[in-house]
Chain A
Amino acid sequence: MGRPRSRRAGRTRALGSRRKYRRGPGGPVRLTPCSPTRGGPGRIRIVASPRACLHRLSSALLLAVLAAAALGLAACGESGGKPSAIKVVIAEYSKDHTRPFWQGLAEQYTKQHGTKVELQVIDWNSIDQQVSTMIQNNQPPDVLNLNSFSSYAKDGLLHPAEDVLSPKTREDFLPAFARGGEYQGKLYGFPILASARAFFYNTELFARAGLAGPPKTWDEFVDAAKKIQALGGGIIGYALPLGPEEAQAEWSIWMWNNGGEWQSNGRWAIDSEKNVQALDFLAALANRHKVTQINPGKTNRTDGAFQLFKDGKVGMVMGFSPLAAQLDAEGKVKYAVAQMPANAGAPVTLGVEDYLMAFKRKANAEAVKRFLDLYYDPANITRWIAAEGFLPVTKSGMAQMSGNPKLKPYLDALPDARLVPTTDPTWDKVKLDVQQNIGRAVQPEGDPRQVLARLQQNALAVAGSGR
């Protein structure tokens, strides 16, 4: 797992910035390529393309520019001012599959359309920082893969779907995931892949504790956790990861299965009574029943909770398909997958949707459209999603993958899976606030009501400030 390599690199690359954006009525306007005062001989090629700039020039200048443009076109022999390369930034889902797939896709694209692809595959730990740096330096990618999109849409940086996706691609999205990519009624975050959580339990420990099957209610869950914990020898009932890595995911599942919500009627509702009740329940698991690992508020998912489950020390954990793949590969733990235990209504699981988005850059819409349509070609997208062990986001992918028995529990859960409110730009900050704070609620001295009240207060402040 790569961490940010060094502080020095972090500071100079992340915080160094050049101011080339100016806020205009239609969002940020890029100054450099359009400004006629900067259009020296070296810039002729640039002025050739952007229609959007032309209206800002006086007619006299227009003539001069057109003449120059003609010269420029003749000189470099390009047609229509399409970019000679597009920059594509992809998050690394796995060392084995991510780069090979996108490298292959890029080569296929270049072969078909002649446009080069500058591919960057970045690990999840540093992608936020690197993308921020690109935007500070006015060098956004043409295509970006990330787990959030609405802040970029809000800043006016993105193409809407109708500019860069063919109707066929747009219509193929599963409706729930298309809705999860909308900002103010328009699709900006194109679903790239999905995953769904499921309830994993260690069947060997369940048998030893005399438990017939997975718990369906919270009462049954506590009972099962106590019986497993009572086996002794360092065996843990439930591994609860509320450390900063992915606390919002674990919390969402418990909150929803108690009938709680992130938002109700479009307003943040983080501190609702149901949510306080759910967090009290988790705190009680840790401190009253003592059926979790030590310090659940300070345990991360990957190297904490999952590691304990993979070691056979834990009865139950909230997992997802990549965990199943690791467990199968290691073959050490006998496990089964079930629905989440629910305290109110039908069981709910968390669906996670990641996005592709297209940044507005000079005359890049056509080139980006061809690239995205190539990715969303059922042969490509499904091949990759299957290799990474994730779930489809398209109707065609769903049809192709539904025959896979390994994926059945997740695919069954997918239609009822709920998404966190990524469509609200406020979420991008709320998520970080939850990650940094919710763990404190389940510490022995923690106060769930107070932690949630504080999160609610901060969410309202962010939503109100419009930043």
Chain B
Amino acid sequence: MAAVVLYPAAELVRASLSRYSITGLHQGFVGLANYGRLLQQEALPAVVANTAVWVVSVVGLTIGLSLGLAQLVDARFPGRRLVRWALIVPWAASLIMTAKLFAWIYDYYFGLLNRSLTGLGLVDAPVDWLGDDATVMGAMIAVGVFVSLPFTTYVLLAGLQTIPGEVYEAARVDGASAWRTYRTVTLPLLRPALLVAAVLNAIYVFNSFPLIWTLNDRNPGFAHDTMVTYMYKIAFKSALRDVGLAAALGVVNVLVILGAVALYLRAASVREAEA
């Protein structure tokens, strides 16, 4: 435990207090100077905003869609097993391969998406999905949701299956409509599963590097980076080339995600107590 969690964490903190040359050579300790410089980075506000939009949208949309999908694959219908298997596929594929695949689907000249949309007459001219500042984030969020759906759906499906049939029977006897049953019986009983899905997804989506790195690799600057890809760019791909500064952002990233999860769990437990 100490070796796996504490040692890298301690190393990260130590690196964040250090000054490095561009080659990675340690040049001594600088106290909290890297944190001060981090706050002065011009790109930081946009990067933080991107991160918030990215995490909230992907987690929110994923959970919304997964609720429907979980309900679907929970129902009995012929070929259910096949649908359940198909649902796992995007999860089993590597994120880099998925991202590359979508980069091709979104491509302005060769992409399937533009060809379909223009073919159906939905858009007049092709769209540069990954190059147009207005569409990049949306395009990335769609892929983020796509790869998060399987896990979330399975967590919610497991939750659905723990709800005993008698409760539904009681609701039916009371004459509740389907929608009312869903709202007052299913959703409250799904709360533990929803909690797990939300927290794990938030951590996973926040930390998601390969999707944004691959889909955003053509765009100059930091206008569409999240805190995780920005950290990598600070360390290796920008004029900063500064491992110490990147480590400072790494520490901030860990604290942000811990803080967000703690807040969420507290809010959830308060609601639980009230309920």
Instruction: Please list the residues of chain A having a beta carbon within 8 angstroms of any beta carbon in chain B.
Output: 1-8, 10-12, 14-19, 21, 23, 28, 128-129, 131-136, 151-152, 154-155, 157, 234, 242-245, 247, 293-295, 297-300, 303-304, 307-308, 311, 313, 425, 428-430, 432-433, 435-440, 458, 462, 467
Contact = CB atoms under 8 A, between A and B. Distances in A.
B237 interface: yes
B135 to A, nearest CB: 11
B209 A4 contact: yes
A435 B109 contact: no
Given A3-B214, A243-B220, A15 B235 contact: yes
A62 to B, nearest CB: 30
B242 to A, nearest CB: 9
Nearest to B222: A436
A119 B245 CA distance: 31
B24 A436 contact: no
Given A16-B12, A245-B217, A8 B239 contact: no
B182 interface: no
B71 interface: no
B224 to A, nearest CB: 10
Contact of A433 (B18, B130, B238): B238
Interface string B85-128: 00000000000100010010000111000000000000000001
Contacts of B18: 17, 19
B184 interface: no
Interface of B: 8, 11-12, 14-15, 18, 20-28, 96, 100, 103, 108-110, 128, 130-132, 207-210, 213-214, 217-222, 228, 231-233, 235-241, 243, 246-247, 250
Contacts of A2: 96
A6 B209 contact: yes
A17 B11 contact: yes
Nearest to A308: B109
Q: Give the secondary structure class of A's interface.
A: helix
B247 A295 contact: no
Contact of B26 (A6, A21, A430): A21
B235 A244 contact: no
Contact of A298 (B21, B26, B219): B219
Nearest to A442: B220
B12 A298 contact: no
Nearest to A28: B25
B239 A458 contact: yes
Nearest to A433: B239
Contacts of A155: 21, 23, 25
Given A16-B11, A293-B109, A11 B231 contact: yes
Given A244-B218, A432-B241, 16 more contacts: A3-B213, A7-B207, A12-B12, A21-B26, A131-B23, A152-B23, A155-B25, A245-B218, A247-B220, A298-B131, A433-B238, A436-B220, A436-B222, A436-B237, A438-B220, A439-B220
B239 A429 contact: yes
8 contacts: A3-B213, A136-B15, A136-B25, A155-B21, A244-B219, A298-B218, A428-B22, A433-B238
Contact of B11 (A15, A244, A247, A308): A15
Contact of A151 (B21, B110, B235): B21
A135 B210 CA distance: 25
Contacts of A303: 103
A125 B213 CA distance: 12
Contacts of A311: 109-110
Nearest to B95: A6
A101 B93 CA distance: 32
A132 B131 contact: no
B129 to A, nearest CB: 11
Nearest 3 interchain pairs by C-beta: A7-B209, A433-B239, A132-B24
Contacts of B239: 429-430, 432-433, 436, 458, 462
Contact of B25 (A157, A293, A439): A157
A3 B109 contact: no
Contact of B24 (A23, A135, A244, A308): A135
Given A295-B131, A436-B237, A440-B221, A15 B22 contact: no
Given A135-B23, A294-B131, A8 B207 contact: yes
Contacts of B130: 298
Contact of A429 (B15, B22, B108, B220): B22
Contacts of B214: 3
A128 B246 CA distance: 15
Contacts of B109: 234, 293, 308, 311, 313
A467 B22 contact: yes
A228 to B, nearest CB: 16
A4 B213 contact: yes
A243 B219 contact: yes
Contacts of A293: 108-109
